[in-house]
Amino acid sequence: MKVSEKDQGWFESERSLGEVGDRIFLETRHRILTGVYRPGQKISSQGIAAAFEISLDLANQIMNALSDHGYVHERRGDEVRVIAWTDDEFADMLTTCRDLLELMLSKTSDRLDEETIRTLEQSMDIDLSKDITPDVFEAFHIRWWIFFHTLLYTIEVRSFRKMMLTGAPPSFRRRMFTALDEAGLRSMHSDVQATIPAIRSKDQAKLKALVAHQWTRFTPILAAENSRYNDLADDGEVDYEDRSLPPRPVFRNQTDTRPMFHMGCREPLSWAEYQAMIQ
C-alpha cells in the first residue's frame, strides 16, 4: 500500500484554511500559548469574524481547528473557552502521552524498513549546538513532528492519528517545546535520535528507557509551567483588539533565558509537505 493511500484519520481542520484563515489560526494559537488569551477566557466565532473582518463561516472553521488541536474546549454555540488543565488533569495527560508514545515506538520497531529509517534520520538532521534562535526552535519543532508523523505512517493503525491528537494534542506538544530551555531541547533531540538505532535493533528495553528519561526530566518543568499558566485564569472574553505576538509567554519573567519563539506554521501532514516547507 502506498503511503498516500494509508488511512491517516485526519481531521478536516488539519488541512489549510487558506492564507487568511491559517494566519488567524496561527496568531490565535500563539496568543493562547503565550497567555495573551488567558486560560478560561471565551472566544466566539462572531468576535473573531468581526475583529478580523472575515466571514462567519471561516471564523467557525478556525474555531473547529483550534478545538481539534486542543487549544480550546467547552464549546457552546459559537463560543469556546481557552484550554485550562488542572494539575491533576495535566498529570493524567502526561501519563496518557507517555503510554501512547511507548505503544507507537513498540509497534514501529516491527514494521520499519530501511527507507523509513533514512527518513527518520533525515528528519533529525539538525544542529542544536549553537544558540537556539526562534527560527532554529521552529525548525526543530517541525522536524520533531515529521519524525513522529513518519512513525504514524509506518504503524498503519486506522485512525491512530485521531487517537494521538486526542491523547497528545498539538496544544500539549507545542507547550512542551516552549517550556524547555536550550539544554532540554538538546536532550530531547539526543533522545529522539537514539530511538532510531533502538527501533532498528528492536530494542524494546532501550525504547522504554528513552521515553522514561524524557518524562522524568521534563514532567516537573511542564507541571510548573502549567501552574504558572493557570495563574492567569479569567472567565471573561478575550481582547480581540490585542494583536500582540510576544516571543515568550507573558507569565514568565522577562529575564527568562529559555529560547524565544515565533508563532510558527501549520504542521506538515506528509513528507512531501515537509520537504516543500524547508526549501
Name the CATH topology of 87-226. Four Helix Bundle (Hemerythrin (Met), subunit A) (1.20.120)
Q: Which CATH class name applies to 12-84+233-246?
A: mainly alpha
**154 three-class SS:** helix
Domain with CATH 1.10.10.10 in the chain: 12-84+233-246
CA atoms within 13 A on the CB side of 195: 28
Residue matched to cell numbers 496544544: 171
Per-residue pLDDT of the chain (279 residues; tens, 9 = 90+): 344 444 555 677 888 899 999 999 999 999 999 999 999 999 999 999 999 999 999 999 999 999 989 999 888 888 999 999 999 999 998 998 899 888 888 888 777 788 889 999 999 999 999 999 999 999 999 999 999 888 887 776 556 677 777 777 888 889 999 999 999 999 999 999 999 999 999 999 999 999 999 999 999 999 999 999 999 999 999 999 999 999 999 999 889 999 999 999 988 888 888 999 887
Helix residue ranges per DSSP H, the chain: 18-34, 45-52, 56-68, 87-108, 114-123, 134-155, 160-167, 170-179, 182-200, 204-230, 271-278
Domain with CATH 1.20.120.530 in the chain: 87-226
What is the grid cell recorded at 64? 473547529
